[in-house]
Amino acid sequence: MERRAYLRSVTTGLAGVTGMTGFAGCLRTGGTEQTATTTEAVQFRTETVTMELEIPWGAAFDPEGVLYLTERPGRVQRVTPEGEDREEVADFTDRIAHEGEGGLLGLAFHPGDPDFAYTYGTYDADDGLVNRVVRHRVDEGFATDGVVVDDIPAGSIHDGGRIAFGPEGALYVTTGDAGEGERAQDRDSLAGKVLRVTPDGDPHPDNPGEGGPRVFTYGHRNPQGLAWRDGTLFSTEHGPDHDDEINVLRAGNNYGWPDVMGPSDDETFTDPIESYTPTIAPASATFYDGPIDDWQGDFFFGNLAGRHLRRVRIDGEEVVEQERLLDEEYGRLRSVFTGPDGHLYVATSNQDGRGTPAPQDDRILRIQPA
């Protein structure tokens, strides 16, 4: 079935769009058309939680299970658990510099005090564009509480932008090289790094000596995915026209950009556990612990150029199995994240200037057992 024709035919209710994976062909049930794709083992259904978003990027659930989303032009949206209601809670379009890949990107809630949320965004400064991590007071309409990390180099490409709190309570921040690859190896630059800071933005006391005081790892081109399993941090990263990567991040390690891409024989650099040529543009990361038994512990991420959801089985630190899901069904997929209900959620990115939007794009999808 052709993707755009399918999306034109679905109902427009917030939670009423469902696709079924696990059977061949296409089905119509109750007036709503359902997609169907064959996989060997797992049957699942895909439903739309909310739609008509403008380039959703960051996503985080509050303790009550309410989903918050950033839209790259500079807005924050709040979506109730079943998608029956959506509200714009903040509009920063007058201060966010939405240029190229920059804009309002990552989002995370303070793990100990959910009254505070953090965003990663691009701003105009006296000397040009910069990226900042900003803390907000949620109950006051995301009013700015302070700048946590400032002066991260920014550009129209390669802005990184994913932020997440680790199991030890530290805030991790992915930064891109902002189009100048040599910055990734510059120990004094915040570009091309993964930063680790306290919730107030101070260097984490366990950071290594390599790099600047906030630097956790360096030698990155454009990392956009962070996910932990058993205390080990995994990341996804965009390559140039080859060697997108899955990396295991360890404090102080150098991941090679721009000197090497993918695996190398140089022990100076840490090899990825997997690389992809041609590129698929991995743009997120999460581990699954939901109700589909066959996916337990698997690593998932969205792909922009690859236009699919990637499932990766990792044994220790070795990739042993992979699968493409939702292949070409919904276009460009950016943020993949896990909800408090254990289900996978997927944000499309077809309004970002590089996709072909279908009616009601962009949208948030939820994947559940069939």
Residue range 82-136, pLDDT digits in tens: 767 899 999 999 999 999 999 999 999 999 999 999 999 999 999 999 999 999 9
Mean pLDDT, the chain, rounded, equals: 90
- Between CA 204 and CA 195 the distance in angstroms is 9
- The average pLDDT across 235-247 equals 97
pTM above threshold 0.95: no
For the beta carbon of residue 82, count every other beta carbon within 10 angstroms: 13
Q: What is the dihedral of CA 318, 323, 324, 326, to 10 degrees?
A: -120
**pLDDT of amino acid 85:** 87
- Tokens, residue 157: 């490409």
pLDDT, tens digit (0-9, with 9 covering 90-100), for 269-322: 999 999 999 999 999 999 999 999 999 999 999 999 999 999 999 999 999 999
Integer Rg of the chain from CA: 20
- Between CA 104 and CA 323 the distance in angstroms is 31
- Between CA 367 and CA 325 the distance in angstroms is 11
